Structure 1
């Protein structure tokens, strides 16, 4: 084999190796940031990407939504209540060049910004406001973090508060408050029922006053209801009007004399 043929084979093998080394397959949700001799050449992909071996360097960036758990944060609310908050932040890269050039590690940076923003935002809220308006506070935290990460080419999609830990003393106080509130509502409902019942009784008394026979019918109905219970004791209600008539008859003048003559 001649030296020229050997050299040709070697060159062909080197070219094939360089061609294989220059091929990059970039998936749809990825981008490749290319640097040529240290200078930025832009982002490439998706699909087949060719680079110059040994001259160009690449950094891969994932464009999918990523999530990170924010470590539990101990903070003091506006009304001086110590709580422990756990949350999660969802974010994605929208500008791969900024994500590579503007910051060394954008994931770590987003997590740190999320921690400080969470403490600062929740620390300006009362405990009742924090528990009642949790969704609104999550949106506020998300917008604040997004403003800080925009120069890095990262967009914060969502921030979710997973758990708000309260001290045992505060939980007992809130339980007592809730119990007192339920008792207050029960008393108000009972008072409203008594008021409504008194109005109905007043209306019934007016009906009975207009029709004296209604009282007798009601008395007989009450006796029938008592008799259905198979009781051995029968209570016979006497109208107050009858008692008043008897009393007036006893207090009438001359009754005592007539009684003496009879005896």
Structure 2
């Protein structure tokens, strides 16, 4: 359907409003002149004018809120956008086809029993944040743009699930959010809709798979703990071997180490350690003050 260029007319637009007001004044003046010419009192004529105005103004004068835009048709063809605020319509010629809310909206979507690329059945919930940027297209290109956006979002969610493995969905939600937003935006752009963001709320997996994943995660943690312990034992063994080489090259150092170990084991008990004369002689001048 061909659409004329979008033209927003607000309450301050001079040409349409002035034309309608001028036409109304001409009608009022004509009624006054005719009534005066026929000898009717001015009060009666004014009362008739007020009655006509009360009937005509609701059909001429319209108002929409700040967050709304009125899609106006003239003789069934798209004429333009009006609002926010007050504006006039030509009675019997112009009509408001639909009032479009241009605020950001949220749509919740859910996919039940959708298969991932690695054939795992999951459920997923997401929220789509979107906004009508072109009310003319939203009103003329699709019958019900709200329902259309919701249905497109539902099918796009299943597409994203089927294109990714379960592990990718669980570990990188940001990438899935961005891809889903791009898919929905591409499909709804022709309706004048802009998708600002998509956020995945929850990913549900079968209970038996949850147990298997929990056991796998626990096994992975145990594996890492054992690897860490084995690495520590290797380091300790290397240090013990280095110490053994040092003690083998220096027997005095070995004796001192042995005595130090004996002292550390008995120092809390207040025990006196006696060194045999032969050991003192073997240590030579170790205990001799410098």
Query: What TM-score comes out, normalization by structure 1 length?
Result: 0.81
Name the stretch that deviates more: 55-64 or 141-150. 55-64
Contact map agreement 2:100 2:135 (CA 8 A) in 1:
yes
Q: Which residue of 209, 225, 228 maps to 1:186? A: 225
Partner of 1:44: 82
Partner of 1:25: 63
**In 2, Cα distance between equivalents of 1:144 and 1:31:** 27
Partner of 1:259: none
**In 2, Cα distance between equivalents of 1:18 and 1:50:** 11
Partner of 2:132: 93
The structure 1 segments of at least 4 consecutive aligned residues displaced by more than 6 Å after TM superposition are none
Instruction: Give the 3-state SS of the residue equivalent to 2:81 in structure 1.
Output: strand
1:21 Cα deviation (Å)? Answer: 4.2
1:120 and 2:138 correspond: no
**What are the ranges of 5 or more consecutive residues in structure 2 without an aligned counterpart?**
1-34, 274-290
**In 1, Cα distance between equivalents of 2:246 and 2:64:** 90
Instruction: Give the 3-state SS of the residue equivalent to 1:141 in structure 2.
Output: helix
1:228 Cα deviation (Å)? Answer: 3.3
1:150 and 2:189 correspond: yes
Deviations 1:232-255 (A, max 9, x none): 9x9xxxxxxxxxxxxxxxxxxxxx
**In 2, Cα distance between equivalents of 1:205 and 1:141:** 64
**In 2, Cα distance between equivalents of 1:171 and 1:71:** 20
Contact map agreement 1:73 1:115 (CA 8 A) in 2:
no
Contact map agreement 1:73 1:119 (CA 8 A) in 2:
no
Instruction: Give the 3-state SS of the residue equivalent to 1:119 in structure 2.
Output: helix
1:202 and 2:216 correspond: no
Report how many residues are paired: 234
Aligned-pair Cα RMSD in Å: 2.4
1:216 Cα deviation (Å)? Answer: 1.2
**What are the ranges of 5 or more consecutive residues in structure 1 without an aligned counterpart?**
235-263
Instruction: Give the 3-state SS of the residue equivalent to 1:64 in structure 2.
Output: coil
